[in-house]
Amino acid sequence: MDNSESSDEQSLSLPSIHVSLTSSPLSATTALSRIKSPKAGAVVLFAGCTRDTFNSKSVLHLTYSCYAALALRSMQKIAKEVHEKHGLVAISITHRLGQVDVGEESVLIAVSAPHRAAAWRAGEECLELVKERVEIWKEERFEDGGVWRSNRDGQAGVPVESAKGESDEAGGGK
């Protein structure tokens, strides 16, 4: 998680709010540096990782795609809402694009607040809103093919043809 992010990052920032998309490995250190403050008594970091199985199928990797300008605006709107609702000191949302291998992080949400209860609630609410609202799609790739899903529905989308010409309607992922 502590790899350096490269210049491929696209971001929007306001005072105490940062959202970004990148195809580089995510950095917990970078996310935390964006939200730490002497005003914050609590810091919460959520890291969503690609797991190795889904519905008893081996996951090879996930691939994320989006329309960046729209996804960044949606992420910023969510960050503003969560920041205001929970009285946060700061919030950062970073989502990975492109291929994300098993064990790697696809999303980091970092929040800081004066007290821990607000930080815990805000972090979880932010994750759920990102999954529900942000225009990011993922292909879940298995040994025998793959399937596209939007973050919001969790339902299988259009099957992706496998190398054998077969399709797969089951899904996996984060």
Q: Which amino acid makes up residue 99?
A: Q
Task: Tell whether residue 131 is among the known ligand binding residues.
Answer: yes
Q: What is the DSSP string of 71-133?
A: HHHHHHHHHHHHHHHHT-SEEEEEEE-EEEETTSEEEEEEEEESSHHHHHHHHHHHHHHHHHH
Task: Tell whether residue 95 is among the known ligand binding residues.
Answer: no
Using DSSP's 3-state secondary structure scheme, residue 27 falls into strand
> Could you tell me what percentage of the chain is helix, strand and coil, using 3-state DSSP and rounding each to the nearest 5?
25, 40, 35
Task: Tell whether residue 115 is among the known ligand binding residues.
Answer: yes
Task: Tell whether residue 86 is among the known ligand binding residues.
Answer: no
Task: Tell whether residue 18 is among the known ligand binding residues.
Answer: no
> How far apart, in whole angstroms, are the C-alpha atoms of residue 174 and residue 52?
10
In 10 A of CB 5, how many CB atoms?
Answer: 19
Which positions make up the binding site for substrate?
115-116, 131, 138-140
Which residues does the annotation place in the binding site? 115-116, 131, 138-140
